[in-house]
Structure 1
Amino acid sequence: MGSWVHAELPTGGSLDITSLSAYLNSSNDAPNFVFELIRSSPTMIILVLDLPPRKDLVLWPDYLKTFYEDTKLDTHRQALEKIPEVQPYVTSSLFIRTVASPTAIFFRIQTENGGERIDEIIRDHIDPISKQVLGIWLDHCACAERDVGEEDKAYLRKRDGVIRNKTIEVDLGSSFPRLFGPEAAKQILEAIKEYFTV
Structure 2
Amino acid sequence: MNIDFNKNNDGLVPAIIQDASTKKVLMLGYMNAEALEKTKATKLVTFYSRTKKRLWTKGEESGNVLNLVDIKLDCDNDTLLVSVLPKGPTCHKGTDTCWGEPNEESYGFISHLQDVIKDRRLNFAPTESYVSSLFAKGINKIAQKVGEEAVEVVIEAKDSDDNLFLNESADLLFHYLILLEAKGFQVKDVVEILKGREK
TM-score range, shorter chain: under 0.3
Highest Rg: 1 or 2? 2
**TM-score normalised to structure 2 length:** 0.21
Q: Which has the higher contact order (CA 8 A, sep 6+)?
A: 1
**TM-score normalised to structure 1 length:** 0.21
